[in-house]
Amino acid sequence: MTSTHLVDPAELAEQERALVLPRFTNDDAWRLGCLLVELAREQGAPVAIGIRRGGQRLFHCALDGTAPDNDEWLERKSRVALRYGTSSLAVGERFRAKGTTFEASSHLDPARYAAHGGAFPLRVAGAGVIGVVAVSGLPQTEDHALIVKALTRFLA
């Protein structure tokens, strides 16, 4: 891993290979969202949490200490994860590996897209990416890690 990377790209790829859901219903979105809220509260993390499937918002929660800005970050990071079919952190890492930034090289409006950690594609076996789960409020690697922890526990 080079110093330009925030995290190991191979680790990010392995997380996405491992965190595939057998199905994802509205009730699953509620359970995953509540699990994220529980984990965030255990850490005292002031985060906003969003879960979408297709074009529908299935879960949203803004814990104490968040602001409307966090909701904007949820949307911007989610757009990246859905557009690229991979976590927003992995997208940012790909640009850093090329010696550039997402903002400088993606040709996407940075007011609408953010390749910062905290959005993770919801992948269902046999169906591919069907939605996204996002967290905003912590440093980007911690937003990402909170989602990975929740998905790992959710699948256990």
Residue 78 domain-assigned? yes
User: Does residue 121 sit in helix, strand or coil?
Assistant: strand
The enclosing H or E element of 138 equals none
- On whether the pTM is more than 0.85, the answer is yes
CA within 13 Å, CB half, 16? 24
Residue 85's domain is classified under what CATH number? 3.30.450.150
Is pLDDT above 70 for 4? no
Give the pLDDT confidence score for residue 8 in this predicted structure.
Answer: 85
Residue 46 domain-assigned? yes
Mind listing the pLDDT tens digit for each residue in 102-126? 999 999 999 999 999 999 999 999 9
Residue 74 domain-assigned? yes
Residue 120 domain-assigned? yes
Tokens matching residue 4: 């330009």
Question: What band does 6 get if pLDDT is binned at 50, 70 and 90?
Answer: confident
* CB within 8 Å of 108: residues ≥ 6 apart: 83, 102
Give the pLDDT confidence score for residue 113 in this predicted structure.
Answer: 96
The one-letter amino acid at 145? A
Percent above pLDDT 70 for the chain: 97
The one-letter amino acid at 96? R
What average pLDDT does the segment 94-101 reach?
A: 90
Question: What band does 5 get if pLDDT is binned at 50, 70 and 90?
Answer: low
Residue 104 domain-assigned? yes
What average pLDDT does the segment 123-137 reach?
A: 97
Please give the residue range of the domain that contains residue 64.
Answer: 9-155
Residue 136 domain-assigned? yes
Residue 128 domain-assigned? yes
What average pLDDT does the segment 143-152 reach?
A: 98
Is pLDDT above 60 for 1? no
* CB within 8 Å of 19: residues ≥ 6 apart: 120, 123, 148, 151, 152, 155
Number of domains in the chain: 1
Residue 1 domain-assigned? no
Question: What band does 36 get if pLDDT is binned at 50, 70 and 90?
Answer: very high
Burial category of 37 from C-beta neighbours within 10 Å (exposed 0-12, middle 13-18, buried 19 and up): middle
Give the pLDDT confidence score for residue 128 in this predicted structure.
Answer: 95
